Structure 1
Amino acid sequence: MSAGIHLPPLLAALLAAASLRVAHAAPDCPVPLPTEAAAGAGFAWQALPATAAVPAAAPYRIGVWGDSLTSARNFVDAALQGSGIERTAVLPSFIQAGLRVPGLALPLKAACASVGWHTAYAYRAKGDTPAFSPGLLSMESSSPGQTLALDFRFPRPDTRVRQLDILYDKGAPDDSLLLAVAVDGQEEQLIPLSRTATGVLRIAPRVPMAQLRLRLVSGHVRLHGFLPHYEGAPRAVLDILSVPGAQVRGWQHIDARLLPGAPAYDVLILQYGTNEGASPAFDPVAYAGSLRASLARMRQLQPHARCILVGPPDRGVTGARPADPMKYSAIHRRIASTQKQVGAQFGCAFWDWQGATGGAGTALRWARANPPLMQPDLTHLTAQGYEVSGRLFARSHRFNLPQH
C-alpha cells in the first residue's frame, strides 16, 4: 500500500475529523522542527512483512548490549576514539523503542513520546515466549492521540534519512490500527494498518528527511524499533542497544521473528553483571546458568560475530562504616570469572573491567580522584571514568575498520 491510497469521501472526512478530535488528547511531544524542511515533498509508505526489515549496510558493524554503564555512550565513544574512529563516522542501523526510558541516550538529536506510551523491558519478562526485538525494549499504546517524534540530525546536523522501517505488531492480523505520520513538519498522512499482520511500516520520504512524527489515531500498537537508512553510507554501523537496569537474561526473550535480516554484526559486545550482582540473594550457580542460556540464544541469532564479554567494574559499599566494604567487589570478581569461563564455551573473548582499572577497591579510589572517576554511589562512573575505561578497552580489543 502506498501514500496514494484513495478512501471514500465520507470515510476520509470522518477519519480526518476523528484525527483532529484526538490530536489534543495526549500531552504534546515537542521536538524542534528543522528550519529547511522541503515544503510539500511528502512521502510514500508500505506495509511489509517483518522479514523485509534489513538494517543499513556498512563495511563494519558493531553491536553493543549492556546496562546503564554503556547506554550513556561515553565508554563506547572513547573505545572508538582509541581505535582511531571518529564518532561522526558511525551511524546506527537500529534505534530502540525506548523514548520514555530514563537515562537512555538514543542516537538522535532529539526524541520524545507522550505519556500514554508504556515501555516493556526484556530483562523483566516472565515466561518462555520470546516477544522482543534486539533492542530489548518495546513501547505500546491503545490511547488515541499518543505521539512520538524522532529527529535524526545526529551525529552531524546534515544527517538525513532516505528510508525508515518501523518494526511493529498489533496482536491479531485483523485488529484495527490507524496511524498518522508526518515528516519534517509537513501535513500528516493517515496510514490504515487494520488489514496487515505484524511487520514493518516503511516510510520513504521523497526528499531525505530530518524528522518524523507518528500519532496513534485508533487501535493498539506495539513498537519494537526503528531502522533508518541514511542518505550517506557510514564507515561503520554502531548500534548501542544497552538498557539501564538490564541483565543478560533479556537475550532469552528475543523473538527471531522480530530480528531484522542480514547483514549480521562483525563485533558484538555484551556488558553485563552489575545488576545481577546487586541482588541480595546473588547465586553464582544460577547466574552461570542464566549466562549460559543467554549466550546460547545469542549464538543462535548471531552465529558468526566476534563476541566480547565485558565484566562489571568495581563497586563499593556506601555508608560511613560499612560492615563489609568489599562485598560487591568480591561478587563482581566472581561474576567476571564466570563470564570468562562460560564465554569461552561460546567463542567469546573477555575484558575484565574491574581488573583492568585497578581491581578490588578501585571504586573508592576513583571516587576520591581529582577529577572524580566514580560517582558517589560507588556503582556508576563519571563521564571521565567511562572515557578512561573505554580507552583501556580499546587497548585490548581494538575496532579494526576495513581500509578504504
Structure 2
Amino acid sequence: MKILKGNLLTQILIAFVIAIILGIIFGESIEILKPFGDLFLRLIKFIIAPLVLSTLVIGVASIGDPKSLGRVGSKTIAYYLITTAIAIIIGLGFAFVINPGKGLTIDVPNTEVEVNETEGVIQTFLNIVPENPFTALTDGNILQIIFFAIFLGLAITIVGKKAEPIYNFFDSFAEVMFWITGIVMRFAPIGILGLVAPIIGQYGASVLLPLLKIILTVGIACLIHAIVVYSLAVKTFANMNPLTFFKGIAPAAVVAFSTASSAGTLPVTIKNTQENLGVSNKISSFVLPLGATINMDGTAIYQGVAVIFIAQFYGLDLTFMQLITVVITTILASIGTAGVPGAGMIMLAMVLGAVGLPLEGIALIAGIDRILDMFRTTINIVGDAAGAVTVAGTEEDEIDRTAFEK
C-alpha cells in the first residue's frame, strides 16, 4: 500500500491495466469515463505555454554566452536529424522483414481522409517568428514561444545587472510552474484511465485483427529503436545506464502513450528529465520544447512502415532510389510539419506523393491511426529525453548524477 501511495509510475501503470480491462469488458459504453481524460488533458495543456516560456528564458539566460547557446543548439539539431534518419531506416527494414501488407484482403474505406496541407519548410521557418508574442502564448504556438523565450533570455544576459529583476521573476515563475506541474501529475492515473479505456472500448478485435501485422511492425520497430539507439546515445555520451534512463522517463512515456501528444506530455517530460535523470534546467528547457515540435523518431518509423505497407497492399515494388527518397522526404517533412496538428498523417501524404504511391492508401490505416499514434508519440518523447541527456552529457556539469545514483 505504501508503494501505491508514493510511486506515481506504479499508479499510472495500474490505471493503464485497469483501463484496458474495463475497455474490453464494457466496450463503447466505457465512454462515460472520457470526461476524466479530457479534464487531465486540459490541465496539462493549461501549463504548457507558461512552463515552456519561464523555463526556457531561465535556461537561455543561464547559458549566458551566445556561443555556448549556439553550440548547444547545433548539437541538439544534429542529434534530432541523425536519430530521425536512423528511425526511418529501421522502420523500412522491419517493414520488409515482416511484410505487413502482403496477402492482405480488406476493403478500402470509401470515406475521405482529410489531410491538411503543410505550408512547407520555408514558410514554417518564417512562421517561427511571432508577429505578436502574446498571441503566440494565447494560441500555445510552441515554436513561436521558443523563439520569443530565446531572445528574451539572450537579452537578459546581454543587459546584465539591470535585467536581474526580470531574471529573478522568471526564475520564481518557473519554480511555481514546476509546483503546479507536480499537482497536475497527481491526477495522472485518473486521467490515464479516462483516456485509455474509451480507446480500447472503441477499437474491438474485429477492427484490429486485420491490421494487426502493421500494428506489431510499428510497435517492434519503435521498441528496437529505443533499446538500441537511445541506449547507445545515453551510455556513450552521458555514461548513463540505459535502465536508469528508461526508468526515469517511464512516467512521461506512459502519459505520451495515453495522450498521443508530444506537446501535451512536455511538462511531464521536463519534470522527469530534470528530477529523475538529473539534466540541468538550462539544457532540458531548451532541448525538450524544441524536440516536442521537430523531433519525430516515432513518426519516422511509422512513415517507413506505412509506405511499405501501402506499396505491398497495391502490389507495387519500390526501387532503391524511391526508398532513398522516402528517407530524405521524411527528414525534411519532420521540419516542414513542425507544430502542425496531425503531423504524422501530413508527413505520410507528402512521402506517398514523393514516391508516386496512391494517396488513397492513407485510408487503409486511417482507422487505426490513433493506435499507431500512441506508439510513435511515445518514441518521440523518449527520443526528446535521450537528446537532452545526450547533449547534457557533452557539456560540463550539466547532469546531476545524485538524482539517480542512489
Higher relative strand content: 1
Q: 1 or 2 for the larger relative contact order (CA 8 Å, sep ≥6)?
A: 2
Structure having the higher Rg: 1
Task: Please report the TM-score for the alignment, with normalisation by the length of structure 1.
Answer: 0.23
Higher relative helix content: 2
